Amino acid sequence: MPITARTVRLLMPVAALLFVGLALLIRAVDDGALRQHSGTALYASMVWAAVLFLWPRMAPLPAGVVATAFCWVVELAQLTGVPAELSARSMAARLALGVQFDPVDLAWYPVGVAPLLALHLLVRARHRRASSSPQRPSELTHANG
């Protein structure tokens, strides 16, 4: 089955919902460091899903770099106070932009993206292998029949 841009666009919102669900589950069972750091990593995972939703044909490494860079820019913007000001007025802004800078978050964003980058590379490699391998006679008959 070919992986098309349409397939990626359909899967990325599902992935984002899974990341949100996992984040909410962790919030329900933990009140400490796991909650804080997993939230940061899962935020980066959702950004990765958004990058691939917007650019479904993007290669794995550039998608990972864009997602991580976006997260770092948002985190560094918190040094300006603008996200805090916007977050005071809007829950959506608070969720998307955060409130205050935390240098530890800069390290956790790649933690959220790296496993997805590895999975993306694995899926892409398997898809290439499957599409480049010759079909067996039974597959040719089945495909033509």
Q: Which residues contact 88 (CB under 8 A, 6 or more apart)?
A: none
pLDDT of residue 108: 97
Q: What's this model's pTM, rounded to 2 decimal places? A: 0.86
Identify residue 75 by its one-letter amino acid code.
Answer: E
The residue type found at 8 is V
Q: What is the pLDDT of residue 131?
A: 81
The pLDDT value recorded for residue 145 is 47
Mean pLDDT of each 10-residue bin along the chain, 145 residues long: 87 96 94 91 97 96 98 96 93 91 96 97 90 63 49
Residue 27, exposed/middle/buried by CB under 10 A (0-12, 13-18, 19+)?
A: middle
Q: Residues with Cβ < 8 Å from 15, sequence gap 6 or more?
A: 45, 49
Name the residue among 39, 50, 41 with its Cα closest to residue 15. Answer: 50
Q: What is the pLDDT of residue 117?
A: 96
pLDDT given at position 91: 92
Rg (CA), the chain: 19
The pLDDT of residue 138: 54
